[in-house]
Structure 1
């Protein structure tokens, strides 16, 4: 049969790169970037280019598994879903609706319908226990945006920026940056092109990352000390009057309190604590504030380093004081074709209740509550293990890997084993799937329809894709939304989406689901599908929203003195000792060959990266008497893991840098070269957590290092 080439997009990660897929007899045999796409221009990363391996690997699950008498038995999908529904009904009748938890992880996020379907099921059951990977690595981004003020017109975009300030963000590897940062579409090329046009790049990172090597100013900040660096920069901006006085006067409260809080962080004191040169700190402050447009953004590292909410708050302060937002009459920052449209005005939006505010659900542990729609992941293990009203007895994990992704790994393993029902949606026998009672086998991305709703928060133009399935689904697999619909149907539940009730007499097609899911968006998915020609992207430039004048009847502003801020900065300034007896700090990093825990089963990616090396400065290795390439023990206050030492002069002295999401709970010295070590085993969900978001310390972890 002849090879057919079809246009599609990658769903290995959130970037959704445009692709050409070669298909023969219903089987994808090769993929490559689409050079004619107007945004991606042929770019893909090495992970995405392994989609054929992902779809065709012989060890991929193409039939569901149900555990019977301790052993997994291949089971028809319909029978497996009926079994799940029957068990859920039993558990809900016995323990109540809050006994069921739903978690959507990185894999689930790569299906355009999975989040909405998962949340709809949790709502229909009536459980407060809905979790996503957002609260594992970046809850403070959501919290600070809503707590301290959100500009309705959006932030400055990278395409128009004169300056970009990246704090612990390496988009060239992670393919991630918040709005205003570097879009993940060929990020290296975009940075270089913007630099040719005059962009100035500031990078703060404990190690000289790929993007740090391109910086005009590189600040090797100590891990966990980003607040000192940012407060010092704010000190300079206030002292030299570099902020936008007109914007601040019109839209910002709490400025006096912020100025008082940063006053002790003089450039010399702040630089000493942050581990940078005072002149470099001053230069960075002047470069950022002196530019006309641009944003400061963070990656996941600073949020996971113990002061995440404080760091995000100070980044918000930088952007607010320097007025890094779209103004009246300009095109909005991120149009969002599939996003429900709200007014785009030149003003601050009303505040949104967060984390256990009155009327919001609260956890039974550590005083933590909901972040918008979801509970913080760092209470889930305790919610499972602790008896009492509301104890979680059933968990549905949609594309997640709790054993590898959650803090306090061995505790999470105990929790998974303690469940009465653990359902894992997974195309692989991952570490978590091995612990499950039921493993449901999903379609993979090229076997299903999807839209680009999960990548559009980076698109600076109204770019949209609706792609068809280009490969035949093998075995007995379903799209995640279909699984959830069938479970709800068996339970007699009505699923609700933004556009109203989902038909429950027969499972709707995906277009129907997506249209209901995106109700109120700029262009419905069905219309994008009709507008699509031979799988090409559609750009609705004529529909790009424009920032409207402020509504005089609404008078909300940024409030930089709200809640626990800036008092938390003052407490931080008084308390810098942590981790006595542990002289090193372990910092997290991304791997070019993995997306969180996704990619480990793929042979070609494993051939490129078998483990997550422990990168250590050569001088530190010499002092420790450890040879490059040897196995080391890395010990925190909670546990010991193993790593393969790798010398790197791009890492500050006193640090060990390792990629997260490697190594299951069986990982140890004997298999570290094949599995890697789990950095999350070194952490605790009960101590060293952010008091506002509950996020556990997962970077800048105090450790000691020794030869194994």
Structure 2
């Protein structure tokens, strides 16, 4: 293969981009911010990184009862020894000045140290009081994609099976629910059919609504490896903001915020009009729907007639030729294509539709269920799949992707749980926004929040923080104070990360075991222990007889047998470096690609989308639909929020790491220089961002690591200071199908402070 000077310069550029994202340029190498591990280590313990949903394997070094160093696990296929800067610095989140070491109860407005017994009795008493007086739907639980699977399973059983309420939801509702709804509506089952291994065989990457370089840096490094190994690999980045991810792109589609549905439909229009479809695949494996109405291929083509590139150009702000070129590149029959997306598509009032339209591109071209060909939703938390989607810890779900509204599903789970199915409610409980509205209205009397920080992360914060103060709120947390624990009535000290044993499930269906490395400090305890202790005090101890996490897991695993989501046994997980389900044979191979022979054990020949009754995936006719709120004369700018490399979620952990805090001590308002000039703001000067809901004050950043389109401002959401918390400004409108809020777009005005 000829390697030109242009190719060489491109290779240098992508390697530079990789290092700037905090990763080593070669697997197993030293991180840009890391040090060689291994000095004075008494033992190494196998685990999984605590941060994003990539699920990097780690080896934790322990000395004198402390975690002293972390290095990438070279035998883990996810990261092959590579870690980003946050992963390398994980030891520094463990012993911090704000670690919570004892239970606290708020008395007369002040937190007072109490015994576990006093705290547990108070919690159980409040639950009993609310349930007896107002019924089971007066209490709720709000969990996290950071929980281990055993914690989420026990919480689900306690609330849905024992108490009899479906008021259990979690923060994955705010980040992944539209991906769930997209997979289920298109394919009949949740989660990707491919794995990270597809990156090594893809020739075209279509990245839309994701800044992988900063939000998923190790996975981004795999993409860069692929690009460096084969200069013919092409990368398309579609994003209203130029990001670090775009540094490696061959094509940047910087569309007007909220117009991605039009873009995706226009790409489909080009694919059909230029006869780039795979008609054999379409005829054998798909059906067309508009709502519930079946369409023919010709009728679907007619639907797309309104989305020609010439017409769509005016809507999206792109040129017609850009749209055609992207569609042709994606559909090139000589190339494998992989799509990657995350919050940019999901956090929208039409996030489900956007997910459907990405799937459409793969189904129209037949680029699916083959190595290097897959639509792939990236995951934001370490176990949002394993501990929420799979366990069923959302208000409408039951374990193994069952739903509460299905009586057969309730009976199946009731049989495993040992409860009366009549006690299990068929009505979905409060989803995230409804749950915090119910707290504000007084309908929710008691709320238990575990391993998450909604007092900072919920959109349109002002009314919801007021609601959290009204309800009796228990917060299980490793740190205090957080913007949620400060509002609580009881704060329970939680064991953190590898202070406990457990299982995570990452974004590629990989189930991974985390061994306990050290004892938790002070009186901190695993959340699963606290949940079981409260269950006993509520009179449900007979339902929770577990003596170990393994016993919990093996009961949960029964829920997955025969569902085509069959999970591996605990003893095998302890030995392996993760396994991708389904694994119907306990000792058999993991599944790399679902729905297709010879990869999927449930498919004997060809491709079968067995989640749907007819075995066919759906190509949806979804019209373009804009955001809930668009700029106007009073609020003339789009606001979008997101992440930076150095920090994660609400900064509870990463702001405790000195190196990360020094690198990014506070968040900022990233402006296009044209807009900054118009409002008279210079780099580093304070700017006030105001919406119809609230405001915050941040320093302007121009020509930084990213740049939004003119008319758009971008703000990371990690800042812990009240004055800089952007979620006082964001909107709480949500997708009707997925119930996921539209963090990504609202209308604001900018005022020089």
Q: Is the 8 A contact 1:515 1:526 kept in 2?
A: no
User: Quick check: 1:435 aligned with 2:487?
Assistant: yes
Query: 1:324: which partner in 2?
Result: 367
Query: 1:468: which partner in 2?
Result: 515
Q: Is the 8 A contact 1:5 1:20 kept in 2?
A: no
Closer, same or farther in 2 for the Cα pair 1:518/1:594, shift >3 Å?
A: farther
User: Quick check: 1:120 aligned with 2:157?
Assistant: yes
Query: 1:654: which partner in 2?
Result: 711
Q: 1:551-571 CA distances to partner (integer Å, 9 max, x unpaired)?
A: 89952423335xxx53x43x6
Which residue of the other structure, out of 290, 300, 304, is the alignment partner of 2:347?
A: 304
Query: 2:508: which partner in 1?
Result: 457
Counterpart CA distance in 2 for 1:393 and 1:360 is 29
Which residue of the other structure, out of 593, 596, 605, is the alignment partner of 2:649?
A: 596
Matches within 5 A, 1:358-397: 375-386=430-441, 391-397=443-449
Which residue of the other structure, out of 290, 304, 307, is the alignment partner of 1:265?
A: 307
Closer, same or farther in 2 for the Cα pair 1:538/1:702, shift >3 Å?
A: closer
Query: 1:27: which partner in 2?
Result: 66
Query: 2:27: which partner in 1?
Result: none
Q: Is the 8 A contact 1:158 1:294 kept in 2?
A: no
Q: Is the 8 A contact 2:258 2:626 kept in 1?
A: no
Q: Is the 8 A contact 1:634 1:704 kept in 2?
A: yes
Query: In the comparison of the two structures, how many residue pairs are matched?
Result: 641
1:72 counterpart SS class: strand
1:88 counterpart SS class: helix
Distance apart, 1:35 and its partner CA: 4.1
Q: 1:448-505 CA distances to partner (integer Å, 9 max, x unpaired)?
A: 1133x3226265xxxx64342222221111111111111111111268xxxxx542xx
TM score, norm. by length of structure 1: 0.82
Distance apart, 1:700 and its partner CA: 2.2
Counterpart CA distance in 2 for 1:313 and 1:372 is 26
Distance apart, 1:707 and its partner CA: 0.5
Counterpart CA distance in 2 for 1:247 and 1:283 is 23
Which residue of the other structure, out of 32, 36, 42, is the alignment partner of 2:81?
A: 42
Counterpart CA distance in 1 for 2:204 and 2:613 is 32
Query: 1:697: which partner in 2?
Result: 742
Distance apart, 1:331 and its partner CA: 13
Q: Is the 8 A contact 1:398 1:426 kept in 2?
A: no
Distance apart, 1:356 and its partner CA: 8.0
2:448 counterpart SS class: strand
TM score, norm. by length of structure 2: 0.78
Counterpart CA distance in 2 for 1:241 and 1:494 is 63
Closer, same or farther in 2 for the Cα pair 1:283/1:2, shift >3 Å?
A: closer
Q: Is the 8 A contact 1:428 1:601 kept in 2?
A: no
Q: 1:574-612 CA distances to partner (integer Å, 9 max, x unpaired)?
A: x99654432211111212122211425404132222211
Q: Is the 8 A contact 1:140 1:308 kept in 2?
A: yes
Query: 1:672: which partner in 2?
Result: none
Counterpart CA distance in 2 for 1:192 and 1:112 is 32
* Runs of 4+ off more than 6 Å: 330-334, 336-341, 352-361, 370-374, 536-541, 550-553
Query: 1:144: which partner in 2?
Result: 182
Counterpart CA distance in 2 for 1:380 and 1:579 is 31
Which residue of the other structure, out of 304, 323, 329, is the alignment partner of 1:281?
A: 323
Distance apart, 1:79 and its partner CA: 3.0
Q: Which runs of 5+ in 1 are unaligned?
A: 176-183, 342-351, 362-369, 496-500, 669-676
Query: 2:55: which partner in 1?
Result: 16
Q: 1:96-155 CA distances to partner (integer Å, 9 max, x unpaired)?
A: 1001111113443xx242222222222121112111112212321111211232479924
Closer, same or farther in 2 for the Cα pair 1:663/1:630, shift >3 Å?
A: same
Q: Which runs of 5+ in 2 are unaligned?
A: 1-38, 289-296, 378-382, 391-400, 411-424, 592-598
> Is the deviation greater in 655-664 or in 441-450?
655-664
Query: 1:180: which partner in 2?
Result: none
Q: Is the 8 A contact 2:151 2:528 kept in 1?
A: yes
Matches within 5 A, 1:507-526: 507-519=546-558, 520=561, 521-526=566-571
> Is the deviation greater in 29-38 or in 480-489?
29-38
Distance apart, 1:528 and its partner CA: 3.0
